[in-house]
Structure 1
Amino acid sequence: MDIQWYPGHMAKAKRQIRENLKLIDVVIELVDARIPISSSNPEVDDLINGKKKIVVLNKSDLADPEINKLWEKHYKKANQPYVFVDAISGKGLKELIATVKTTMKPVLDRDKAKGRLNRQIRCLILGIPNVGKSTLINSISGRASTKTGNKPGVTKANQWIKVSNEIQLLDTPGILWPKFDDETIGLKLAWIGSIKDTIYDREEAALKLLEFLRSAYPNVIYDRYKVEFDENTTALELMESIARKRNYVIRGGEIDYSRTAEMLMDEIKKTTLGKVSFEWPEVD
């Protein structure tokens, strides 16, 4: 799958982020809990240049709970602060605020010893499009209109949002795009709806989706589509069985592959198929 990306946008975002980091104490890297690797930019750590970082796995309610547990073990082993959240419902936001405070405690204690009291923690949220950055900011601040006005910064577009008397978020129009090291990253982003369906082959993406589900979540396919298959059933045969079950056929009894693919991609994006994770960490 040849998915075209936007390196010009990424270069602009990186420049903005580097400038904004001068004002920041903690970076919150927002990823999609279903694809924590593919929804993260591999250049983030170099970009933030040693700043404290918290990984926030959004949409964790849509991911496989058992795979979430594996990611939890992974981040603990790596000594990487992390929080699972659902920005829409607000689940996990209290834990996020507590993690920000815990992460900054050594710095705040040091400042307090020097007589610098009541210093606010300044945070920046980084995330690729459609991982829920705006929703998280609005949820964690309590309402969408909590911008506290401009402060001395890089550009007039920078807005500080008050989370509490102790924490502020810097809201910036900058975005950070992932780097496609291989086509599977773009494929997973397509499955969760993070890229437009006009820039990839939907039928091929649907076939790859069925290959993955057949291997990792065979019960999901059977429960939803009530079709029989085994490990020797190809993705194309599986798609054809689903199409016939749904009566997605055209004149002459031929399979309507386009309509079937559209349905499959739509159902996985809307989580009609249930809680599914598309990648998980290596485990011992």
Structure 2
Amino acid sequence: MHVKDKSKSKNLHMLISGRPKRNRKGEIIKEAEFQKTTRNNQSKIPPDTKWFKATRVVTKQELQVYENCVQKLNPYNVLLEKGKIPFSLLNERITKKKYNVDSNFNVKNSTFCNKSIEELKKLLQKNEKNEEKTEEKNESESKAGKGNSKRIFNELYKVVDSSDILIHVLDARDPMGTMCDSFMETLKLHFSSKQVIFLLNKTDLIPTSVTASWLRKLSINNPTVAYSSFSIEKSFGKESLISLLRQYSKLYKNKKQISVGFIGYPNVGKSSIINSLRNKLVCKVAPVPGETKVWQYVRIMRRIYLIDCPGIVPRGDDSVLKGGVRIEMIEEPEEYLNEIISKGREGIENKYKVTFQNSDDLIDKLCVKYGKLSKGGVYNRNEVAKMILYDWTRGRISYFNKPEED
């Protein structure tokens, strides 16, 4: 008896299955696989001219314009989109075209001798070195521009590229004055997927009613949180901020962790906020601008990381009264007293217990009161003006701006 193994049975089944089944008369009862003779009901395109003409195509720009016109402004609408290009890594430096001596002074057909041409080359090389030194000097941080150097803006855009959420820290005494408008416009144009949160810091220096009115106004465009970092252990608004970050983290389920970048003017309290959230000193803090030199990663939770950024001052902005410049570097501090008096005259009178008519009268009275006199009884006006600026930037002179009523 012949026994079929598994491979032979498979081979026979393959040969048999490829044939149709027939009856005794030779008629096909069951057709073989893939050999059907019956026709299926085929679908036909109706003879309509619209299928054979060019159709109108809507571009992406037109859809974006339509979306902007239709949608209502809502600060709680979230756009999730990953950035594809790390802009901070692009370094497109425009270099000047070097002056070619050989092309302009041909050795064969020239009135200059070889020695003169060599001297010209040395002079050009020396000039190029001087230009490079001048560029490096201009790029370095100037005394009055600590927050608008090229290095600071490079650090800023590194933080922006690395962050999923950006927290714009504002001084509660002057939120609109400490808001970087030009940078916010750049975010809307090139980083529209970045979520921006406004954080009103130093709310303990203004009345509660003013804080509430600022919250109502700023929350129209972006989520806004009131905050006050008294110290590492004591802070107001910590629970609200952490709760908001947890809500945002649920939107990024495809990521293992999310990064939150802190941006804003110098000396508005970015590092102090991170320390209060972490409950220990992880970022250096100082009552002077420029303490934070580079960006710094800090872990607050398993999925949330905080990034501390150096303070930025937009170019052409008056940064002295906003705490963006170190007071000891200001050569003529008396120029800023009139603006301080116009903003916080009542706070100056309460702080120094004096009444005055103008800035000169104020300096004279404070020189007498605090004994700021030079040789021969001359008033040391420069030192007194710097003292007022110190008290102004550190919050010792009470002042605040109320939001404009719409």
- Whether TM exceeds 0.5 here: the answer is yes
Indicate the SS of the match to 1:73: helix
* 1:227 matches 2:370: no
* Residue of 241, 244, 249 corresponding to 1:96: 241
- Are the aligned partners of 1:124 and 1:171 in contact in 2 as well (CA < 8 Å)? yes
* 1:16 matches 2:158: yes
- Are the aligned partners of 1:39 and 1:178 in contact in 2 as well (CA < 8 Å)? no
* 1:248 matches 2:372: yes
Structure 2 counterpart of 1:135: 272
Structure 2 counterpart of 1:34: 173
Structure 1 counterpart of 2:104: none
Indicate the SS of the match to 2:378: coil
Residue 280 of structure 1: CA displacement?
A: 4.2
Using CA pairs below 8 Å that are at least 6 residues apart, which structure has the higher relative contact order?
1
Q: Would the alpha carbon gap of residues 120 and 13 (structure 1) be closer, same or farther in structure 2, given more than 3 Å must change?
A: closer
| Map 1:119-134 → 2, pairs under 5 A | 121-134=258-271
- Are the aligned partners of 1:125 and 1:169 in contact in 2 as well (CA < 8 Å)? no
Q: Would the alpha carbon gap of residues 4 and 266 (structure 1) be closer, same or farther in structure 2, given more than 3 Å must change?
A: closer
Gaps of 5+ in 2: 1-142, 284-293
Deviation track 1:246-276 (CA, whole Å, cap 9, x = no partner) reads 3433444432212211322232344333x42
Residues of 1 paired with 2:355 and 2:262: CA distance? Answer: 45
Indicate the SS of the match to 1:16: helix
* 1:171 matches 2:319: no
Residues of 2 paired with 1:54 and 1:46: CA distance? Answer: 16
| Map 1:38-49 → 2, pairs under 5 A | 38-42=177-181, 43-47=183-187, 48-49=191-192
* 1:86 matches 2:228: yes
Residues of 1 paired with 2:329 and 2:337: CA distance? Answer: 14
Residue 237 of structure 1: CA displacement?
A: 2.0
Residue identity opposite 2:366 in structure 1: I
Residue 53 of structure 1: CA displacement?
A: 1.3
* Residue of 323, 326, 333 corresponding to 1:202: 333
Residue identity opposite 2:276 in structure 1: S
* 1:263 matches 2:387: yes
- Are the aligned partners of 1:13 and 1:176 in contact in 2 as well (CA < 8 Å)? no
Q: Would the alpha carbon gap of residues 180 and 65 (structure 1) be closer, same or farther in structure 2, given more than 3 Å must change?
A: farther
Structure showing greater radius of gyration is 2
Deviation track 1:90-136 (CA, whole Å, cap 9, x = no partner) reads 2211111122234566x36xx5xxxx6x9655422223332222222
Residue identity opposite 2:175 in structure 1: P
Q: Tell me how large the CA RMSD over aligned residues is.
A: 3.3
Residue identity opposite 1:271 in structure 2: G
Structure 2 counterpart of 1:211: 342
Residues of 2 paired with 1:18 and 1:164: CA distance? Answer: 20
Residues of 1 paired with 2:174 and 2:246: CA distance? Answer: 27
Residue identity opposite 1:237 in structure 2: D
Residues of 2 paired with 1:228 and 1:127: CA distance? Answer: 35
Structure 2 counterpart of 1:283: 405
Q: How many residues are paired up?
A: 245
Residue identity opposite 1:276 in structure 2: Y
Residue identity opposite 2:326 in structure 1: K
Residues of 2 paired with 1:163 and 1:45: CA distance? Answer: 29
Residue identity opposite 2:245 in structure 1: V
Identity level (%): 22
Indicate the SS of the match to 1:264: helix
Residue identity opposite 1:13 in structure 2: E
TM-score (ref. length: structure 2): 0.52
Deviation track 1:32-53 (CA, whole Å, cap 9, x = no partner) reads 2223233332213523423221
Residues of 2 paired with 1:261 and 1:168: CA distance? Answer: 44
Q: Would the alpha carbon gap of residues 272 and 7 (structure 1) be closer, same or farther in structure 2, given more than 3 Å must change?
A: closer
Residues of 2 paired with 1:175 and 1:270: CA distance? Answer: 18
Residue identity opposite 2:201 in structure 1: N
Residue identity opposite 1:259 in structure 2: E
TM-score (ref. length: structure 1): 0.71
Indicate the SS of the match to 1:213: helix
Residues of 2 paired with 1:244 and 1:269: CA distance? Answer: 23
